[in-house]
């Protein structure tokens, strides 16, 4: 794979990206771009950032050899990059702490964020608590219901969680609402966008902070195996953990595979696959140009995924470009394949991947056996699965859990 | 053209009124009735908003109207037919207001050619700054349509001049930060900002965002060329019904 993530001044990657923002935010984006350029060009900043991440979070996160899964499939050697062991349990904190440092530099005192799975919301609430910022998190009503434990933690850390009841009541609607807050409060507020989407410079900036994943993974695999992997797998919601991993492997010999959410199946219309499905076409929304799941009029469609963090209409413009140029391959995994992958990984390795991350596992499992023992694959475990206990317990249909919840509910009567 | 029409009208009126509807809210028939009432009550120009599923710059009132209209199944084609009818029946300029994806998905060139044919005079696209829309601006001008650009209180003088160089017809000046439909303080700050808008463009200026009653109109008289009322008429329709719109406009 070869990739050129550098973009031009207006944030275009091929035909994708750009900055389709209302006039009121132009000055805010100019300021953000200026500060981001300064830190990106300053090696001392990266040092400060990685020191913070090793001290406050658990970086470098391990690259775990999955011995049992490797034996189970009898093909490639399987390694897992453990973003689940990052503080707050997902890769999201990498981006958030980076933007937090930027917020301090810009002298702002309040942060807002959208969240789907709640991982980005928790990470932002955590960063706000640590740096002393006021914090408001926008979350679709549907996601508030399916990711309740994360809502609880955000609130405990002092964030205000706003349940968004407009539109389809999921991630995209939370993003719209965050923008509506920002156009009012930009003087003291920074919008910590959680993925490699949105107007320039967000795709570039979020990818920059997440590149810590790929930088580490590359060093680790070279140290452990003395060679590069054959394929690397990451799930793709907005694309930030995938960008993070892929940037570590710009080599032609490494194939980057992004796995999207096929939901109930690509043919059912109930999925969130932008790069593997003809249901998505190029459009402009939420400030940037990319593949969107939209109808012929340009109205966004309803999406579905068992994983709230992948349940989104758009995808990183950088990944759209990589898709178009053949610099990465995109696959998809259904809800059922994902549940099976979670089960297998828990039983074989004692590791619980988040439902989002389990898409990458499902994609890798499909291909592991066809590779040889000389091949190495790396799966990015973008987060840990304990947040999904309600969804997973329902999917497994565990009767003991159901009894427990019923009893617990009685306690609150 | 649009600018000439505005200047002509300003010879007999001290301020013009531009109103706004979301096409298809509360229904297509009701939308036409609202247009009729507005025109009969003396509105000088109108924005027809084509609903979009992600109206990022709109506040709760217009957002809800967008959603309801889409839920009822409104299509872009129906919006064009509606605009065609309105523009043929009523003798005031109609502009489209919508988000860029509606143009983009239809095909920017086809869309512009088609709306020119049905008698639309211009368009306001809040998520299309000139940096992203050079083709659009060029095509609009070639088809005798006005691309309307927006000034905001955070826009620098230099950028106002830049935007003005792209604009035709008039400049839309947002009275404050934020989204549509929230309260605006008509204060000295606003006065100074409107003065700044005036200095940085030769085009007529419209002031909107939070304009809702006669007091606001009176404040803007002598300062702006056009007052824009958006969310408030939707509120009137929601609270008092379509028939109340004409009286509300006459009361301004
Ligand atoms: C654990 C986890 N993985 C992946 C994602 C998807 O986001 P992205 O594609 O930006 O990595 C999320 C988003 O919420 C997440 O929480």
**DSSP for A128-164, written as a single string:** HHHHT-EEEEEEEHHHHHHTHHHHHHHHHTT-EEEEE
C-beta neighbour count of B212 within 10 angstroms: 19
Q: So where are chain A's domains? A: 12-54+91-203, 60-89+211-396
Cα distances (Å, whole numbers) of residue B18 to A336, B6, B112, B172, B224? 54, 11, 22, 11, 12
Mean pLDDT (chain B, rounded): 96
Give the right CATH number for A12-54+91-203 from 3.40.50.300, 3.40.190.290, 3.40.50.1100, 3.40.50.1000: 3.40.50.1100
CB A217 within 8 A of CB A245: yes
Q: Rounded distance, CA A274 to CA A257, Å?
A: 14
CA distance A284 to B52: 12
Q: In this structure, which residue's CA is closest to atom 12 in ligand 1? A: A309
Query: What are the tens digits of pLDDT across the range B80-133?
Result: 999 999 999 999 999 999 999 999 999 999 999 999 999 999 999 999 999 999
Strand pairing of A63-65 and A77-82?
antiparallel
Q: What is the largest CA-CA distance in chain B?
A: 45
Tell whether A303 is within 8 A of chain B (Cβ): no
Range A60-89+211-396 has CATH code 3.40.50.720: no
Residues 6+ apart with CB under 8 A from B193: B153, B173, B175
**Alpha carbon distance A279, A269 (integer Å):** 8
A383 lines ligand 1 (CB under 6 A): yes
Express as a percent the part of chain A with pLDDT over 70: 98
3-state secondary structure of A41: coil
How much is the pLDDT for B185?
Answer: 83
Tell me: the pLDDT tens digits for A153-209? 999 999 999 999 998 899 999 999 999 999 999 999 999 999 999 999 999 999 999
The reported pLDDT for the residue numbered A4 is: 41
User: Any idea what DSSP says for residue A232?
Assistant: E
Nearest to A384 by CA among A404, A361, A355: A355
Residue B225 has pLDDT above 70, yes or no: yes
Query: Taking residues A7-31, what's their average pLDDT?
Result: 92
CA distance A118 to A98: 18
Q: What average pLDDT score do residues A35-44 get?
A: 96
Q: Across A264-339, where does the E strand assignment appear?
A: 280-285, 288-293, 329-334
Q: Chain B contacts of A184, Cβ < 8 Å? A: 177-179, 182
The CA distance from A252 to B246, in Å, is 68
**Strand, coil or helix: what is B24?**
coil
Let me know how many helices (H) and strands (E) chain A has, helices first: 15, 14
Give how far A23 is from chain B: nearest CA, Å.
Answer: 6
* Spatial CA neighbour of A228 closest among A208, A252, A202, A206: A252
Q: Whose CA is nearest to atom 14 of ligand 1?
A: A309
Model pLDDT for residues B190-218, shown as the tens digit of each residue: 999 999 999 999 999 999 988 999 999 99
Q: How far is CA B234 from CA A101, B21, B24, B238, B239, in A?
A: 43, 7, 12, 6, 9
Q: Which of A236, A238, A234, A274 is nearest to A255 (CA)?
A: A234
Q: Which ligand 1 atom minimizes the distance to the CA of A194?
A: 10
β-pair partners for B226: B16, B206
**Is the separation of the CB atoms in B68 and B57 below 8 Å?**
no
User: Does residue A5 carry a pLDDT above 60?
Assistant: no
Mutate to test the interface with A, among B67, B76, B81, B105 (most CBs of A within 10 A): B105
Which parts of chain B fold into alpha helices (H)?
A: 2-10, 28-40, 60-71, 76-89, 100-106, 108-117, 134-142, 157-166, 188-200, 214-220, 231-240, 245-250
Nearest C-alpha neighbor of A328 from the set A8, A52, A13, A12: A13
What helix, strand, coil percent values describe chain B, rounded to 5?
A: 50, 15, 35
In the predicted model, is pLDDT for residue A1 greater than 50? Answer: no
- What pLDDT was estimated at residue A8? 59
CA distance A167 to chain B (A): 7
Please indicate if any CB of chain B lies within 8 Å of the CB of A88.
Answer: no
Nearest-atom number in ligand 1 for the CA of A210 is 11
Nearest-CA neighbor of B57 among B110, B97, B111, B116?
Answer: B97
Residue A84 three-state SS: helix
User: CA A285 to CA B99: how far, in whole Å?
Assistant: 8
Cis preceding linkage at A60, omega within 30: yes
Stretch A207-226: mean pLDDT: 98
CATH 1.10.3720.10 correct for B2-250: no
- Report CA torsion sign: B19, B25, B30, B31: positive
- A184 and B177 Cβ atoms separated by less than 8 Å: yes
DSSP β-ladder status, B226-229 and A189-191: unpaired
């Amino acid at each position: 794979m070869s990739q050129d993530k550098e973009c031009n001044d207006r944030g275009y990657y091929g035909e994708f990206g750009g900055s389709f923002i209302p006039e009121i935010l132009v000055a805010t984006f100019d300021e953000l771009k200026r500060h981001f350029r300064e830190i990106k060009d300053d090696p001392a900043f990266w040092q400060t950032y990685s020191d913070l991440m090793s001290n406050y979070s658990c970086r470098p996160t391990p690259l775990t050899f999955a011995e049992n899964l490797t034996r189970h499939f009898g093909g490639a050697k399987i390694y897992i990059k453990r973003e689940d062991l990052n503080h707050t349990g997902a890769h999201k904190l990498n981006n958030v702490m980076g933007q937090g440092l930027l917020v301090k530099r810009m002298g702002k005192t309040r942060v807002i964020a959208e969240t789907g799975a709640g991982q980005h919301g928790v990470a932002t609430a955590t960063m706000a608590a640590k740096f002393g910022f006021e914090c408001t998190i926008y979350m679709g009503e549907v996601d508030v219901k399916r990711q309740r434990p994360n809502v609880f933690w955000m609130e405990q850390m002092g964030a205000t969680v706003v349940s968004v009841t407009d539109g389809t009541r999921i991630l995209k609607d939370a993003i719209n609402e965050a923008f509506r807050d920002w156009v009012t409060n930009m003087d003291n507020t920074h919008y910590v966008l959680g993925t490699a989407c949105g107007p320039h410079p967000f795709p570039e900036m979020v990818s920059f902070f997440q590149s810590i994943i790929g930088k580490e993974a590359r060093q680790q695999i070279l140290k452990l195996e003395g060679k590069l992997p054959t394929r690397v797998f990451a799930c793709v919601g907005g694309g930030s953990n995938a960008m993070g991993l892929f940037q570590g492997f710009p080599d032609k010999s490494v194939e980057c595979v992004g796995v999207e959410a096929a939901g109930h199946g690509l043919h059912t219309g109930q999925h969130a696959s932008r790069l593997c499905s003809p249901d998505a076409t190029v459009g402009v929304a939420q400030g940037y140009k990319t593949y969107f799941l939209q109808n012929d009029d340009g109205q966004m469609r309803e999406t579905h995924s068992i994983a709230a963090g992948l349940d989104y209409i758009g995808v990183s413009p950088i990944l759209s470009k990589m898709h178009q140029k053949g610099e990465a391959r995109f696959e998809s995994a259904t809800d059922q394949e994902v549940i099976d992958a979670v089960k297998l990984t828990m039983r074989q390795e004692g590791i619980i991947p988040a439902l989002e991350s389990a898409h990458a596992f499902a994609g890798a499992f499909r291909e592991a056996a066809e590779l040889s023992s000389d091949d190495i694959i790396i799966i990015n475990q973008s987060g840990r699965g304990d947040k999904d206990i309600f969804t997973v317990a329902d999917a497994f249909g565990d009767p003991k859990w159901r009894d427990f919840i019923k009893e617990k509910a009685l306690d609150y009567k | 053209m649009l600018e000439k029409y505005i200047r002509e009208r300003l010879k007999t009126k001290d301020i013009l009124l531009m109103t706004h509807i979301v096409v298809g809210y509360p229904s297509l028939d009701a939308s036409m009735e609202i247009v009729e009432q507005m025109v009969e009550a003396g509105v000088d120009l109108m924005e027809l908003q084509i609903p979009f599923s992600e109206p990022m710059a709109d506040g709760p009132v217009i957002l809800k109207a967008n959603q309801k209209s889409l839920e009822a199944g409104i299509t872009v084609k129906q919006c064009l037919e509606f605009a065609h009818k309105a523009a043929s029946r009523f003798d005031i300029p109609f502009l489209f207001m919508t988000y860029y994806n509606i143009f983009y998905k239809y095909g920017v060139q086809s869309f512009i050619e088609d709306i020119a044919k049905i008698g639309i005079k211009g368009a306001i696209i809040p998520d299309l700054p000139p940096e992203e829309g050079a083709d659009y601006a060029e095509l609009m001008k070639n088809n005798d349509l006005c691309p309307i650009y927006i000034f905001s209180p955070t826009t620098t003088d230099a950028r106002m001049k830049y935007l003005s160089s792209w604009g035709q017809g008039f400049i839309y000046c947002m009275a404050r930060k934020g989204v549509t439909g929230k309260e605006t303080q008509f204060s000295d700050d606003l006065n100074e900002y409107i003065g700044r808008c005036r200095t940085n463009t030769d085009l007529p200026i419209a002031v909107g965002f939070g304009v809702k009653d006669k007091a606001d109109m009176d404040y803007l008289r002598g300062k702006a060329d056009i007052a824009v009322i958006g969310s408030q008429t939707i509120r009137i329709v929601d609270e008092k019904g379509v028939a109340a719109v004409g009286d509300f406009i006459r009361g301004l």
